[in-house]
Amino acid sequence: MKGALNLWLTLAFATATLSYDRPSASIVMNDRAAYHAYALNDGMCNQRGNPQRSLVIPGPEIVSQFSVCQGRNEFGELVSDTSGSVYCNGTLIHLWNDARDHIGDSKTFVDRASNFSGSQINIALYHVLSKRNFTVSEFLEEVDSMFEFHHPGKELTDYENSRFPHTPSFILSIRPQARTFRAWTKIVHHYWNNLDRTMIQNCFNDKTYGTQAQLLPGPGSPSVGTTLGASGYSPSAGEQCATSIIRLEHPFVIAGGRFREQYYWDSFFVMEGLLAANMTYLARTTLLNFMDEIRSYGFIPNGGRKYYLNRSQPPLFIHMLHAYVHNTNDTAVLHGALPLAEVSSFSPYISNSLTRALEQKELRWWAENRGIAVKSPRDSSVTHFVYHYNVNADGPRPEVSDFGSGNEEKLILVVNQSYAEDWMTAWCDEQPPTREEEFRMYSELASGAESGWDYTARWMSDPYNLPEDRIEQMRRVQIRRIIPVDLNSILYRCHILIAELYERAVDDESPYAWQHKQRHEIAASLLKSAILDLHWNENKTGFYDFELDTHGSKLKGPRTGRIKNFWSGATFTPFWSGIWPESVRTNQSRTMEAFSGMRDLLKRYGGPLPATVTKSGQQWDFPNAWPPLQYVAIKALQNIPYNLSTADAFRFAKTSTPQGQLGVEYDKLPVMDGENITGRELDGSTSSSWRNVMLKELSMRYMTSAFCNWNVTAKLRDDEIEAIVQDNPREDAWLDHFPGAMYEKLNAWDVTRRGHGGEYEVQTGFGWTNG
């Protein structure tokens, strides 16, 4: 950090009056107007980029300081970590992104560890840039060789899972006639072995790099001064390696592709798959890692990198905890987990020795950092306490994505993401932004990433009339003004589930468990009232987001707003969480109306349920169909009470969809250019319950889509099917490396198409699709 500041201070004084008109002498530019002119002509705003152009170093008025990027130990204490000045903020990451057209996948940079510490890199960078002015290409070559950045993921190694069940019971239960499906399911189950990871103490898992560079202690690490693996000590500043990784002490499952670390909300869907396969050990270690992060940071970050430390993701830790305990009856984990999940400062499980470590808790963090008071639109005397995504960011998101050409057949679907895209969104306009405008834009974009829906027209102003230009679309993101229906439904369910967990704990060791159970039931009741008041539209028979009239950190008092007329797959989250409006709960016709929009979309298109019905080019918009949203929709259907699902599919097919439920009329839904693939008419050819018909249809769309896209690359043969279904554990190891790609997103157009668009190439692996 000192190296970068010395560079700025030394050179900024010498070049304070330089402008873009004198590039040969412009080693540093600290004037915002001058740097804006440079960016438009030769810099980050000019995507044609010239690798032979002179390197221009931005001063502190240009490069924002990403303020949260430092590791903590098990006590929540900051460790002596200077990696943030390399991977999160400062001169190097900005210059690297300025040269993005010549480096391919820029997330590669922030995921590449170095043999040197962050302070050593900055000192060396200062000396290098002081010698002479580099061209862009010369700079990239110099940095790559000098600082010994290694391939991403060198801090991790594959986890050898000796407990791996080769053929879990759910595979054995698949009927013999479905041999292809059974073989495919078994192959996908074996893919878990490709996604299991564990940390190593040294920075690199390649012995040729030596062992002198050590990972710093992280959440759950032994205390400073105690043994750290074989070395017996915590590394000094000179012995540290620069890395963005958050050191975790337990094995975990990565998402796949370019996502090489543990992620928050992905892990919920991963855990569903682990528990179904009886892989309870990995499910437990996943929870333990999250518990360590809550102890150290006070919350669960977006992912397992330091550049994620200013934001979280949809809060599903309590959902994971409940699923684990429900499936394993392992109530011992509650001793450590319940205090970390709590809201209040008092919990029956807190002992004197843990008091300091348990001061920060998951639900409290969400209440204090993402809670907001909102007036009822129906009764101004009523105020609700609800939640929204609201990251305060003072710089671009450091994580960066792929760059290439928009060729769908080759799966290179590009975009200029994260650091570069954030900076471009703020700066590449006719006038340079003020600091306040710049930080507001960074905060909106980081909040969009926190939602997991990065990005979608759902978070944008005037979502049905978006410009085609991606940067112009991103300037319309205003997620902090939106009270998301799914976020509040998830937190409602958190209170319901933690109340149930306290009931499980009452016979354990807590005489106060019933009091805490009742407290969470009251909190759930209040949040349910808020969701029904703010998000339920009686005329459209659906749940929608709520949009505030204004947003700003300086505003005081409860906010006002109105329901937002925009349909998304999030509309079914309250039903999954168990929230049923009175008019629906007591009337089967109204229940069918609530799900009639889903029926219309399955009739219109041939694939799974789309995220939205807006075709913006953003990855969480049409036609992409995401596995988490299929899960929520299926769970919502399963939650329909029996007395509301007795009608047959024929009657459901004749149920009228309330006007405007999908945001646009049926004949205005997106159409495909060139060919028209339609879904299946759910016309009641069976006398089965309408709910069961919908469940079967949606489930089969998802499974068929996942299989068809996988088999394009796998090309499963009949002889392979026969060998796989023999269930011979000694010969099953080859299945770990069976060809075929499980994609992170699917396509609503048709089951034979994969998802596309958005901020990076379509990723394979893939944790939540498998789960």
Which stretches of 154-279 are DSSP H helices? 169-172, 179-190, 192-195, 264-276
The DSSP annotation for 18-33 comes to --TT-GGG-SEE--HH
pLDDT of 316 reads 98
Instruction: Check whether 264 has a pLDDT greater than 60.
Output: yes
Percentage of the chain beyond pLDDT 70 is 79
- b or e along 221-256 (b: 16 or more beta carbons within 10 Å of the residue's beta carbon)? beebeeebeeeeebbeeeebbbbbbbbbbbbbbbbb
Could you state, in order of their start, the residue ranges of all structural domains in the chain?
580-771
Instruction: Check whether 352 has a pLDDT greater than 80.
Output: no
Instruction: Check whether 513 has a pLDDT greater than 50.
Output: yes
CB atoms within 10 A of CB 700: 13
The number of residues making up the chain comes to 771
Q: Rounded distance, CA 197 to CA 183, Å?
A: 25
Instruction: Check whether 416 has a pLDDT greater than 60.
Output: no
DSSP-based three-state secondary structure for 608: coil
- b or e along 31-70 (b: 16 or more beta carbons within 10 Å of the residue's beta carbon)? bbebbbbbbbebbbbeeeeeeebbbbbbbbebbbbbebbb
Q: Which of 76-90, 143-157, 210-224, 342-356 has the highest mean pLDDT?
A: 143-157
Res. 407 pLDDT band, cuts 50 70 90 = very low
* pTM, entire model: 0.90
- Which residues fall within 8 angstroms of residue 686, CB to CB, at 6 or more apart? 648, 649, 693
Instruction: Check whether 17 has a pLDDT greater than 60.
Output: no
Res. 93 pLDDT band, cuts 50 70 90 = confident
Q: What is the mean pLDDT of residues 220-227?
A: 48
- Is the CB of residue 390 less than 8 Å from the CB of residue 449? no
Res. 121 pLDDT band, cuts 50 70 90 = confident
Instruction: Check whether 223 has a pLDDT greater than 80.
Output: no
pLDDT of 100 reads 65
Which stretches of 353-484 are DSSP H helices? 362-370, 418-427, 435-450, 470-474
pLDDT digits (tens, 9 = 90+) for 721-760: 999 998 787 778 889 889 888 888 999 999 999 887 554 4
Res. 116 pLDDT band, cuts 50 70 90 = confident
Which amino acid belongs to residue 629? Answer: L
Instruction: Check whether 37 has a pLDDT greater than 60.
Output: yes
pLDDT of 209 reads 43
DSSP-based three-state secondary structure for 457: helix
Q: What is the mean pLDDT of residues 271-284?
A: 96
Q: Which of 173-182, 509-518, 635-644 has the highest mean pLDDT?
A: 635-644
Q: Which residue has the higher pLDDT, 672 or 719?
A: 719
The DSSP annotation for 58-105 comes to E-TTTS--------B-TTSPBPS--THHHHTSSHHHHHHHHTGGGTS-
Residue with tokens 């980029």: 49
Q: What is the mean pLDDT of residues 225-251?
A: 62
Q: Rounded distance, CA 372 to CA 254, Å?
A: 33
Instruction: Check whether 411 has a pLDDT greater than 70.
Output: no
Residue with tokens 């528990």: 275
Which stretches of 507-587 are DSSP H helices? 513-535, 573-577, 582-585
Res. 4 pLDDT band, cuts 50 70 90 = very low
Res. 151 pLDDT band, cuts 50 70 90 = confident
pLDDT of 715 reads 92
Element (H, E) at 279: none
Q: What is the mean pLDDT of residues 529-535?
A: 99
pLDDT of 348 reads 41
Res. 216 pLDDT band, cuts 50 70 90 = low
Q: What is the mean pLDDT of residues 337-349?
A: 65
Instruction: Check whether 213 has a pLDDT greater than 80.
Output: no
Q: Which residue has the higher pLDDT, 103 or 215?
A: 215
pLDDT of 766 reads 63
Instruction: Check whether 22 has a pLDDT greater than 60.
Output: no
Q: What is the mean pLDDT of the chain?
A: 83
Q: What is the mean pLDDT of residues 611-634?
A: 97
Instruction: Check whether 612 has a pLDDT greater than 60.
Output: yes
pLDDT of 228 reads 32
Q: Is 676 left (phi over 0), alpha (psi -120 to 50) or beta?
A: beta
Res. 511 pLDDT band, cuts 50 70 90 = low
Q: Rounded distance, CA 705 to CA 513, Å?
A: 45
Q: Is 108 exposed, middle or buried (0-12, 13-18, 19+ CB in 10 A)?
A: middle
pLDDT of 367 reads 92
pLDDT digits (tens, 9 = 90+) for 482-493: 999 999 999 999
